Amino acid sequence: MNHTTHFEAQQLGCIRQGRWLFSEVSFSLKAGELLLVEGANGAGKSSLLRLLAGIASPASGNILFQQQSIQDCLQDYKEELHYIGHTNGIRLGLTVTENLTLAAELSQQHISNMSDALSMLQLDQQKNTQTQYLSAGQKRRTALARLFLIPRKLWILDEPLTSLDAATQKILLTKIESHLTNGGMCVMTSHQPVNLNAEIKHLRLTSC
Amino acid sequence: MLKTLHTVFYFELLLLWRRAQEWLYPVAFFVIIISLFPFAFSPDPLLLQTMIPGGVWIAAMFASILSIETIFHARWFH
């Protein structure tokens, strides 16, 4: 991967319900680094991640990817990142396999290692079950399977560890670690401790 | 590109098929209203010929009201 990969936020601000949630949030991230966003409930962690994923636009400030503002190349930018939020981004009426096939097709990616990823995430038994009948943890694992199947440079994960069991949390953290070693970048939030063998930057959000 | 389009349509139709009650219910409602007309007025063919075309439109409108709620709503829950 390209080692000039660079992700930067300059003085970001976000307004929700007519009041400033946060302002003047800046950070910069290089290949192989992880940004851990911390803050109390309602501090704006998820809102910040939505801004970074290009789903919402900031009230002030700039987000740069490869030295280019993401608003100028939104379509290309979205093809470089994985965003997994609280709602998992899966269709509840589709089975695990169908969801992943759809995700792969939408990113124009041919996937050959589907069964490996499914067995690693212990979704073998459920692969032909509609995701609406799965437990919260299994839904989360279905969403996370995208990380294993479709390679992208930037991962934006909103509390990826919630509702996962200890074993799966470990699998995910190992996966994040190898993603970073391969020159990827990751922005995540977590209320659990994140023990990683990698460069971790911390960003603490406090309410204005 | 064409293959992607095909996949997207395929999965949307599959989803629609799996929650058939959403579109079967208005269709059944439509059929019931239409078939009630001869009972409610009279089975006289001449009268029905003048009445039914308007009745079909009204029935179609009522049936479509039933499905209005799900047009945007469904995306988030299925």
Q: pLDDT tens digits, chain B, 78 residues: what are they?
A: 888 899 999 999 999 899 888 889 999 999 999 999 889 888 888 988 888 899 999 999 999 998 887 777 666 655
Supply the pLDDT for residue B75: 62
Q: Residue B51 domain-assigned?
A: yes
Distance CA B8, CA B16 (A): 12
Q: Which of A72-81, A93-102, A145-154, B62-71 has the lowest mean pLDDT?
A: B62-71
Contacts of A92 in chain B (CB under 8 A): 77-78
Supply the pLDDT for residue B78: 59
Three-state secondary structure readout of A99-134: HHHHHHHHCCCCCCCHHHHHHHCCCCCCCCCEHHHC
- Tokens at A129, concatenated: 């079950």
Please indicate whether, in this complex, the C-beta atoms of A94 and B77 are within 8 angstroms of each other: no
Distance CA A14, CA A61 (A): 9
Q: Which of A26-30, A109-113, A175-179 has the lowest mean pLDDT?
A: A109-113
Q: Check if the beta carbon of residue B36 is closer than 8 Å to that of residue B15.
A: no
Q: Residue B10 domain-assigned?
A: no
Q: Residue B72 domain-assigned?
A: yes
User: Scanning the structure block, which residue is given the tokens 């969801």?
Assistant: A99
pLDDT band, very low/low/confident/very high, at A110 (cuts 50, 70, 90)? confident
Number of structural domains in chain B: 1
pLDDT band, very low/low/confident/very high, at A137 (cuts 50, 70, 90)? very high
Distance of CA A184 to the CA centre of its chain: 12
pLDDT at A2 over 60: no
Residues of A with CB under 8 A from a CB of B: 91-94, 98, 101-102, 105-106, 108, 130, 132
Supply the pLDDT for residue A192: 87
Supply the pLDDT for residue A187: 95
Q: Residue B4 domain-assigned?
A: no
Once rounded to an integer, what is the mean pLDDT over residues A107-128? 90
Please indicate whether, in this complex, the C-beta atoms of A94 and B11 are within 8 angstroms of each other: yes
Once rounded to an integer, what is the mean pLDDT over residues A91-96? 93
Helices A136-149 and A166-181 cross at an angle (nearest 10°) of 20
DSSP state of A39: -
Distance CA A74, CA A69 (A): 9
Q: Residue B11 domain-assigned?
A: no
User: Scanning the structure block, which residue is given the tokens 């660079």?
Assistant: A6
Please indicate whether, in this complex, the C-beta atoms of A92 and B78 are within 8 angstroms of each other: yes
pLDDT at A3 over 80: no
Q: Check if the beta carbon of residue A142 is closer than 8 Å to that of residue A97.
A: no
pLDDT at A38 over 60: yes
Supply the pLDDT for residue A1: 45
Q: Residue B1 domain-assigned?
A: no
Rounded percentage of chain A residues whose pLDDT exceeds 70: 97
Q: Residue B6 domain-assigned?
A: no
Once rounded to an integer, what is the mean pLDDT over residues A179-194? 92
Q: What ipTM was reported for this prediction?
A: 0.77
pLDDT at A156 over 90: yes
Supply the pLDDT for residue A4: 67
By Cβ distance, the residue of B3, B4, B15 closest to A94 is: B15
Q: Residue B12 domain-assigned?
A: no
Distance CA A56, CA B8 (A): 24
Among A79, A96, A98, the strongest candidate for a mutation testing the B interface, having the largest count of B CBs within 10 A, is A98
Please indicate whether, in this complex, the C-beta atoms of A93 and B4 are within 8 angstroms of each other: no
DSSP state of A111: -
Q: What residue numbers bound the domain in which B32 lies?
A: 21-76
Q: Considering only residues A82 and B72, tell me which one the structure prediction assigns the higher pLDDT.
A: A82
